[in-house]
Structure 1
Amino acid sequence: MHPVYVKAGTKPATPILFVNEANYAEASKVLDAREAAFVKAAGFEPKAGRHLMVQGPDGGLGGVLFGIEPADAKVKDFFRPAQLVSLLPPGTYRFANAPHDARLAALSFALGSYQFTRYRKAAPHDVKLVVPDGMDGDDLSRIAEAVDLARDLINTPSNDMGPQELEDAARKLATQHGAKFNVTIGAEIEKNYPLIQAVGMGSPRAPRLIDFTWGKDSDPKVTLVGKGVCFDTGGLDIKPDASMLNMKKDMGGAATALGLAHMIMSRGLKVRLRVLIPAVENAISGAAFRPRDIFPSRKGITVEIGNTDAEGRLILADALALADEEKPALIADFATLTGAARVALGPDLPAFFTDDDALADEFARAGLAEHDPVWRLPLWKPYEAMLDSKVADTNNVSSGGQGGAITAALFLRKFVEAKSWLHLDVFAWTPAAKPARPEGGELQSARALYAMLCKRYG
């Protein structure tokens, strides 16, 4: 079980009372006269984010009041209770009443306790939470573990998270769950995955395709593909310094796939899972690929390089072609692919694309329920003309500067025949800290897809 959680009865637990303007009078009835007088004297107001620690009869902490939004509020942050992780003194706590969503509130405690301490020590948040009655603490734990894993991978700088280190992390996860692991590298990459080779050949850190499978072959096949660009200079179409600064997170798609894979395997879902991660560094050297170069792909489609900074879609194209060959029931790819998606939807709302309307509806509903929102953008086929090339089957970028997230998705669509295909254009980063979401690497969209898969295959 995740370190933040304890089972009921393990230790005495201080109650947390969730209050708002609507329920305050009724909820406060649990306070005795002395406690009620203290709360009144303190001038506590039951507004979202406010808290008050109430003294117990023995002089210690007797309880905590914490303000949440009214039940009829148009916008509610179901992760707001995570604020308490950094506000409360060390100890064990329990929910005295139900917040808006007790499960998400409990999950928020684990997500809010995350700290990235590989390079700098930090005092741990020694706040424990009793798993509420009737709640699956093991499932909360596996979700929190997946988020921790993805955050750690994304937050690690590229000097310690290159293609080899990403392979090591994937191998460790596969070994933990008894999955079959394989890596393609060297001459086999050049022969079988020419677009992966093209992107990675400018770096001394060799490109590779990470591939592991888990589960019974007779179960429905679910394949996850994660973009593993461990650092992106932009290549010869070099990024400006401000755009390059945070490119350690360009393997956020791979981290997302690994986090989701951990949830699926730990839960034991009835699927045959496959995870594919093309891992490269898009570097600058005499060996780097160039604008207007033309390369074949695994699928046989020739690609003209309109921009070397549109490298993620190239490595995904070869991996998606491989994924599609065994005709799985579902293919989902995750990639920090376009700035256009961020311009359209901001940092917290990943864009997704699919031709499958039923899948889109199912996925979007799961995202809302899990407080892991996603938003569908169209695979607008008339925009395919923007990818035309006069000398190859396709260009890797559009001829204009508009609709960049859509044209990137349309490029990927050329390499997938499966209808049940989800393309996730994620940011994988929280630029400003929010409850349960510290600044830095973030697992986006995976909890939503996990919830959807649990309903299908749980």
Structure 2
Amino acid sequence: MSLPTCFAPPDAAAHATPLVAVDREGLPALLASLPSSAARWCQSSGFAADPHSVLLVPDADGRPLLALAGIAGVRDPLALGAAPLLLPAGDYRLDGERGLRLDPGTALLGWGLGAYQFTRYRQPTRTPARLVLGEDASSQSEAFAQLKASTLVRDLINTPTEDMGPDELEAVARRVGLAYGGEVRCVRGDQLLAENFPAIHAVGRASHREPRLIEVLWGNPEHPRLSIVGKGVCFDTGGLDIKPADGMRNMKKDMGGAAHAIGLAQLVMARKLPVRLQLLVGAVENAISANAYRPGEVLRTRAGISIEVDNTDAEGRIVLCDALTYAAESKPALLLDYATLTGAARIALGPDLPALFCNDETLAAEYLRAGEESADPLWRLPLWRPYLSYLASNVADLANSGGSRMAGAITAAVYLDRFVPRELPWAHIDVYSWNDSHRPGRPPGGEAQGLRAAFALLKARFAA
């Protein structure tokens, strides 16, 4: 594969500037090992090895001697996230003799995420500095796959709906699936009714772009089946229960669950996990027109459970329930779904922690452990089934929302739980998919959250 512009091949090492990672505790010893003029430069510059700080140190002739990168710790996947856009353009190589030793894969991932700029509609603000890759490609191949998946997620979410509607989301899923030898099929428009996906059809029928269910199958049919489902609401007006302007502003990101599902599927295929992968994306626009679904309507679902529409802005769970039912019909060994589902999850956990709901204690423990070990945390919220009473309906089996504002993330999860057989290990991840502000390695806009954790979980489950 061609290298991203923020990396240089191993043969560039000879002329690259050494890059030394250091923390506050190790800085005094490092300064003592440097030439006195270099040490004085660091001190006069006020460099204190604070996390995400960098400093280019000249030699006696004013040429680059080395670069310093302050880090919080060697396990931080974003330890070098600030360096590509703070250091002067040029080539840098990790110095394995001085300072802290970073794992080459961790360094590669953090550098690549820090160099990311969304450039579809404008030129990059600057050329990132380049990190010279090590000779051992095998130790970096997984990091490259993770970086590729993470930047795919960011690109999909950052792209506005005019260029990332259901048609374009299908094209991406098709491109990714076919690139790795998968099979792709898509059920569109009124064919959704013919093939018994009425809930997906109801949410998306008001848009000029057809709603659809996208399916990618990959891998040996003899291997355990892994089903990954993503909410692909490419824009959410709120429907007839229309959102206010500030709530609608960033609704291009309401397909963030689908972006995560596609990114994770790509990672599974790229790393050749021994699974029979099924990727499912319900791709719709929740639009407003004469045939938009209405509050008070009763919808059919693939599972045969009738749904009263209490609020048309609670559309993601309606899209997901048909996809989850379809996935469960194949009795997968594991079912995961990703969705930008509730603002309540953000109120509870803030923007950085995806909410994890799970019907299996072993799976939940493994998922949380994978998040901790990969420094990609999630936080478990209870799948408290008594709260299903908040979704009671007088005319249907279930309502999609209710009058209470309590436990909004949990009620959404227990709604989905009605469509998943109890014996099937299932995890639902309510993910924000967005950075509201700039932080090193995390530019404003779309973000992959919990992706490394999910892949670590899948490796532990299926590649052992």
Task: Report the TM-score, using the length of structure 2 for normalisation.
Answer: 0.93
Q: What's 1:419 paired with?
A: 424
Tell me the secondary structure at the aligned position of residue 284 of structure 2: strand
Contact 1:257 1:446 in 2 (8 A): no
Is 1:170 matched with 2:170? no
Is 1:436 matched with 2:441? yes
Are residues 100 and 375 of structure 1, via their aligned partners in 2, closer, same or farther at CA, if it must alter by over 3 Å?
Answer: farther
- Cα distance in 1, alignment partners of residues 146 and 288 from structure 2: 38
Are residues 130 and 288 of structure 1, via their aligned partners in 2, closer, same or farther at CA, if it must alter by over 3 Å?
Answer: same
Q: What's 2:299 paired with?
A: 295
Contact 2:197 2:322 in 1 (8 A): yes
Deviation per residue, 1:382-411 (Å, 9 max, x gap): 111111111111111133111010000000
Unaligned 5+ segments in structure 1 are none
Q: What's 2:27 paired with?
A: 24
Name the stretch that deviates more: 191-200 or 99-108. 99-108
Are residues 189 and 61 of structure 1, via their aligned partners in 2, closer, same or farther at CA, if it must alter by over 3 Å?
Answer: same
Pairwise CA RMSD: 1.9
The match for 2:459 among 430, 442, 454 is: 454
- Cα distance in 2, alignment partners of residues 357 and 282 from structure 1: 35
Tell me the secondary structure at the aligned position of residue 81 of structure 2: helix
Structure 1 residue 104 displacement after superposition: 3.0
Structure 1 residue 201 displacement after superposition: 1.0
The one-letter code sitting in structure 2 at the alignment partner of 1:425 is D
The one-letter code sitting in structure 1 at the alignment partner of 2:310 is G
Counterparts of residues 379-418 of structure 1 (less than 5 Å): 379-417=383-421, 418=423
Tell me the secondary structure at the aligned position of residue 277 of structure 2: strand
Tell me the secondary structure at the aligned position of residue 51 of structure 2: coil
- Cα distance in 2, alignment partners of residues 244 and 39 from structure 1: 48
Contact 1:336 1:427 in 2 (8 A): yes
Q: What's 1:230 paired with?
A: 234
Q: What's 2:260 paired with?
A: 256
- Cα distance in 2, alignment partners of residues 247 and 41 from structure 1: 47
Is 1:317 matched with 2:321? yes
Structure 1 residue 346 displacement after superposition: 0.6
- Cα distance in 2, alignment partners of residues 238 and 260 from structure 1: 32
Deviation per residue, 1:96-125 (Å, 9 max, x gap): 243576643431100111111111112453
Unaligned 5+ segments in structure 2 are none
Counterparts of residues 3-18 of structure 1 (less than 5 Å): 3=4, 4-11=6-13, 12-18=15-21
Contact 1:282 1:311 in 2 (8 A): yes
The match for 1:154 among 132, 157, 171 is: 157
The share of aligned pairs that are identical, in percent, is 46
- Cα distance in 2, alignment partners of residues 63 and 376 from structure 1: 43
Contact 1:5 1:130 in 2 (8 A): yes
Counterparts of residues 267-306 of structure 1 (less than 5 Å): 267-306=271-310
Contact 1:22 1:70 in 2 (8 A): no
Contact 2:105 2:142 in 1 (8 A): no
- Cα distance in 2, alignment partners of residues 415 and 400 from structure 1: 22
Counterparts of residues 35-184 of structure 1 (less than 5 Å): 35-56=38-59, 59-69=62-72, 78-96=77-95, 97-98=99-100, 103-131=105-133, 136-184=139-187
Are residues 165 and 441 of structure 1, via their aligned partners in 2, closer, same or farther at CA, if it must alter by over 3 Å?
Answer: same
Structure 1 residue 43 displacement after superposition: 4.0
Deviation per residue, 1:296-322 (Å, 9 max, x gap): 100100110010000000010000000
Contact 1:398 1:404 in 2 (8 A): no
The one-letter code sitting in structure 1 at the alignment partner of 2:382 is P
Counterparts of residues 340-355 of structure 1 (less than 5 Å): 340-355=344-359
Deviation per residue, 1:25-71 (Å, 9 max, x gap): 22234422332233344343233333221113553211112222379
Are residues 340 and 450 of structure 1, via their aligned partners in 2, closer, same or farther at CA, if it must alter by over 3 Å?
Answer: same
Contact 2:339 2:431 in 1 (8 A): yes
Tell me the secondary structure at the aligned position of residue 292 of structure 2: coil
Structure 1 residue 95 displacement after superposition: 2.1
Between the two proteins, the alignment pairs up a number of residues equal to 454
Is 1:219 matched with 2:223? yes
